[in-house]
A and B are shown apart, each in its own frame.
Chain A
């Protein structure tokens, strides 16, 4: 610290210090609210309810998290059935979001390649349709979707959720992957075709690996959109056969009789997958968000 201070020009020292102070404020703003949720999840209920708040848990406990693994235990009975549904709903969410991500990458890569490499009539219209459908508010689609899903007897099935999520995630995936494919030199695929690969072999063995960062980013965005969704999940699911995690977590939050520490723990569990992705693939996310939002 002292070495850093003395190594700077005197005029730079204060501006550097100011910038660091700004950085510290941003860090606090970003971390403080979430860390309060995390801290609460490690407290006993009566400590969490103390006034003034116990900022650091004096007697930290894992009991809230353990409750989810012991659904027949005494604590899980308190309040709603949310505690016993937390882990099964997490599994549902993983399946729904995972399938959405996989199908996105598959369907989106093929479509994105078509748009990146071919000049054809209607290409502009197609791109406009994809971009336009990203603008539709979910609330406008929910009633007809609900009626349709009900007609086909798919209410409370995960498959109905996955298909719905595809509608919302595919347009972004296609735009993103179109941009990635355009950045890959054509000479790569031409060389493969000259070497006697058919189109599918070239696409599978040459092009997809070259676009891997884009595929990962696209899959991740789709996963997170599906993982985060509440509106469609709460309308299209009703039992633990297909309830996803946001539905169960919201059930905790809107039930006044639930223990707040259990609620906090379920919230923390719901954050883990997206948080792991966000930090593990930080650079890909930043690139993807940027190239998906700016034009071409």
Chain B
């Protein structure tokens, strides 16, 4: 398997092969090769992130574009003192927490299922990629149509099964709107978790299971002592990737709920968008954006710390 071969040849040879006389020792050449990529990333990610910090320290609104007054951390103070921020933060936490927990549990269950042999397994393994291939905007549109309060498929299904007696507006009640949004995002995000966890499961040597069985381990012990230790790192990766992508969820919110009803699904990302492009308050909007960046950065640092121990990058 490819993943395996890459892990074996982890580039440590790079150091040893240095003097082999084919030019590997020319560092400027390696930098030259990286110049185009680095230019693009520094100019279009590094510069904006710095510029964004600078704007967030100013009073700057497109409604009065000539005003660009330095006001220090006032925008941040305004954010931290506003109820809107805390409400958006809690909704972000609730949304992210729900999405991540459901994706991990559901993803793990499906991965464990698809790791067993049964007729038709290969078809299911192929089909699982379907939700992954759906653009988030289309995903939002699809669920909006399913949740529709007057003619939606969900209402139709539940009524004909006798579970509810009349059609409901799933997106007009604060709690059910949040849950509906979570379900829609989970559907879109789940395949990535399945693919990553299934690949990890397939890397577990079969002999480990055989040995444990000989020692008399039951199914639960097999999972606890053999499967889980091998899954710990991939699970962590899935956890972090899903957390980051749930925090930045935007398209699906835009199409499905637009932050509503009221502010029931107004996450930090959506609040940033509204402040910036609806109220046109670029100063405050950037302070919001920077707050999200800092939260994301904190999570990313945890990612680095746990996955990449010191010196790993030189490998």
Q: Which residues of A come within 8 Å of B, CB atoms?
A: 4, 16, 19-20, 22-23, 26-27, 29-31, 33-34, 36-37, 40, 48-53, 107-108, 110-111, 113-133, 135-145, 147-148, 163-164, 166-167, 170-171, 174, 179-180, 182-183, 186, 189-190, 193, 199, 213, 224, 227-228, 230-231, 235, 246, 249-250, 252-254, 260, 263-264, 267, 270-271, 274-275, 277-279, 282, 285-287, 289-291, 293-296
The tally of CB-CB contacts under 8 A between chains A and B is 334
Q: In the complex, are the beta carbons of A135 and B137 less than 8 A apart?
A: no
Most chain B CB within a 10 A radius of its CB, from A132, A189, A235 = A132
Structural contact, A118 and B24, CB atoms closer than 8 A: yes
Q: A199-B23, A271-B134 are in contact. Are A135 and B44 (CB under 8 A)?
A: no
Tell me how far the C-beta of B46 lies from the nearest C-beta in chain A, rounded to whole angstroms: 8
Cα-based distance from A289 to B113 in the complex (angstroms): 20
Complex CA–CA separation, A136 to B49 (angstroms): 9
Known A144-B55, A163-B40: A121·B27 in contact at CB below 8 Å: yes
- Which one of A135, A199, A279 has the highest number of Cβ atoms from chain B below 10 Å of its Cβ? A135
Q: Do the beta carbons of B33 and A110 come within 8 Å of each other?
A: yes
CB distance from A197 to the nearest CB of B (A): 11
Nearest chain B CB to A267 CB, angstrom units? 5
Contact A20 B119 (CB under 8 A): yes
Q: Is B79 an interface residue (CB 8 A)?
A: no
Say yes or no: A264 contacts B153, CB within 8 Å.
no
Known A-B contacts A133-B41, A148-B48, A274-B134; the reply to A291 vs B3 at CB < 8 A is yes
Q: For the complex, is B26 an interface residue (Cβ under 8 Å from A)?
A: yes
Contact of B15 among A119, A147, A148, A289 (CB under 8 A): A119
Q: Are B312 and A295 in contact (CB under 8 A)?
A: yes
Q: Write out, one digit per residue, whether chain B residues 247-284 have a CB within 8 A of any chain A CB (1) or not (0).
A: 11011001100100000000001001100110000100
Q: Which of B26, B119, B135, B290 contacts A227 (CB 8 A)?
A: B135
> Is A127 touching B313 in the complex (CB atoms < 8 A)?
yes
Cβ of B297 within 8 Å of any chain A Cβ, yes or no, is: yes
| Complex Cα gap A113–B272 (Å) | 38
Stretch of B80-88, B140-148, B208-216 contacting A (4+ beta carbons < 8 Å): B140-148
Contact of B34 with A136 in the complex, beta carbons under 8 Å: no
Given A235-B277, A286-B129, 9 other A-B contacts at CB below 8 A?
A: A27-B124, A118-B29, A119-B15, A142-B276, A144-B47, A148-B51, A230-B254, A282-B126, A287-B3
On whether the beta carbons of A270 and B52 are closer than 8 Å, the reply is: no
Contact between B37 and A139, CB atoms less than 8 A apart: no
* B180 interface hit (Cβ, 8 Å): no
Min C-beta distance of A207 to chain B, whole Å: 12
The tally of residues in B whose CB lies under 8 Å from a CB in A reads 121
Judged by a CB distance under 8 angstroms, whether B105 is at the interface is: no
Q: Which residues of B contact A51 (CB under 8 A)?
A: 150-151, 156, 167
Q: How far is the CA of A279 from the CA of B119 in the complex (A)?
A: 20
Give the chain A neighbours of B199 by CB distance below 8 A: 286, 290
| 29 A-B pairs whose Cβ atoms sit less than 8 Å apart in the complex | A23-B113, A30-B131, A33-B187, A34-B131, A51-B167, A53-B152, A123-B30, A123-B313, A125-B313, A137-B244, A137-B247, A140-B52, A140-B296, A143-B48, A143-B55, A143-B276, A144-B52, A147-B51, A148-B48, A179-B6, A228-B137, A249-B137, A249-B141, A260-B151, A263-B145, A274-B134, A275-B130, A279-B133, A290-B195
- Residue B204 lies at the interface, judged by CB distance under 8 Å to chain A: no
Most chain A CB atoms below 10 A, which of B46, B142, B272? B142
By Cβ-Cβ distance, the 9 closest A-B pairs, closest first, are A124-B313, A114-B33, A120-B27, A118-B30, A144-B48, A278-B133, A19-B118, A144-B51, A135-B300
Contacts of B250 on A, CB cut-off 8 Å?
Answer: 138-139, 230-231
Contacts of B113 in A (CB 8 A): 19, 22-23, 26
Q: In the complex, how many angstroms separate the beta carbon of B221 from the nearest chain A beta carbon?
A: 18
| Inter-chain contact A133/B300, CB cutoff 8 Å | no
Residue of A nearest to B315 (CB): A296
Please, how many angstroms separate the alpha-carbon atoms of A51 and B314 in the complex?
63
Contact of B14 among A33, A36, A117, A143 (CB under 8 A): A117
Whether the Cβ atoms of A278 and B129 lie closer than 8 Å is: yes
Bitwise interface map of B from 1 to 35 toward A, beta carbon under 8 Å scored 1, else 0: 11101110111011101101011111101111110
